[in-house]
Structure 1
Amino acid sequence: MSDASALTLVAVDRVPRPTLLALRVAPEQLGFVGRVVDLLADAQSRPSADPLAFVLGDQVIGLCCIEREPRTIAPIAFDAPAVGLRGFFIDARWQRRGLGRRALSALLHALPERHPAARLLVLSVDEGNTAALGLYRQAGFVDGAARYHGGPVGRGQRLLLRPFHP
């Protein structure tokens, strides 16, 4: 399969569960992202969650969850109507091909249609996750005012913000 195939977003309820559960991150990324089974259970437990799969051609290559209640990402007020991003990852077998950048671009492009009232995407990222920080900054995310201590792997978390418009 060519990496030039179309990369699309699909609601996870349209993807066979075994296909989703087969997704994995590299062992060193597990502390940043967590296990897919836990991400899916978390998304199913919150009515505000919009879990999405990234599909390249006919292959599911990653996952993320848009959170309609951004206060679950950071318990602060935002200057614009916002949605949050959590659990963004590309399967370990598909990494290092520029697909994270393409997936994030596809997500940003789809947000105005999926969440028309929102104008801001917020996320928190572990300060030790330099690959993710670089990806998000390249995509136009900027540091927010908040910093959290004691993330999943014990380091601080940065709040990143990215305006988007229809």
Structure 2
Amino acid sequence: MIPTVSDASALTLVPVDRVPRPGLLALRVAPEQQGFVGRVVDLLADAQSRPSADPLAFVLGDQVIGLCCIEREPRTIAPIAFDAPAVGLRGFFIDARWQRRGLGRRALSLLLDTLKQRHPAVRWLVLSVDEGNAAALRLYRQAGFVEGAQRYHGGSAGRQQFLLLRRLDP
């Protein structure tokens, strides 16, 4: 059964420790996205192993529909110095059952708004993305991300477009 989006304004972003673990572990991506995202259990374990990580869940009504992780140490994503305070973004995705409904765009917008509230001093959001992940690149570019100067060639899913940046206005 395909879930419906009854009220997209009910989309919230909450720490994963406030969401039932079975809901998180039920999240999936399409098979062709698996190499870009990885397994949810691994994403959660990785986030929980780093004190600088802030794993967050996207919740629509009472349904967990996605996941992301804010990294307060952006050098773990992009080993360069930033000219202003920055955070990184890891593992952003919407469950396959909820894709193609505009929720990725809404979730990313919610994330950007949340960052401005929770981290008002931060001026940059940094992420890396695989060059073959056309849907993610399109989403990030539409949201105002621009390509950084560096590339990373050793991604597990292939060559990475190492750095995308999004200025967070004060």
Tell me the equivalent position of 2:80. Answer: 76
- State which of 89, 92, 95 in structure 2 corresponds to 1:85: 89
- Following superposition, the deviation at residue 3 of structure 1 comes to 4.7
Tell me the equivalent position of 1:38. Answer: 42
1:84-123 to structure 2, matched below 5 A, reads 84-123=88-127
- Following superposition, the deviation at residue 160 of structure 1 comes to 0.2
In 1, Cα distance between equivalents of 2:33 and 2:7: 22
Moved over 6 A (4+): none
TM-score normalized by structure 1? 0.96
2:52 and 2:71 in contact (8 A); partners too: yes
- SS of the equivalent of 2:106 reads helix
In 2, Cα distance between equivalents of 1:17 and 1:144: 35
TM-score normalized by structure 2? 0.94
RMSD: 1.1
- SS of the equivalent of 1:149 reads strand
Per-residue CA distance 1:75-96 (angstroms, 9 max, x = gap): 1111210000000000000001
Q: Which runs of 5+ in 2 are unaligned?
A: none
Tell me the equivalent position of 1:149. Answer: 153
1:121 and 1:162 in contact (8 A); partners too: yes
Aligned length: 166
Tell me the equivalent position of 1:12. Answer: 16
Q: Report the AA paired with residue 124 of structure 1.
A: S
- State which of 25, 29, 32 in structure 1 corresponds to 2:29: 25
Q: Report the AA paired with residue 11 of structure 1.
A: P
- SS of the equivalent of 1:118 reads coil
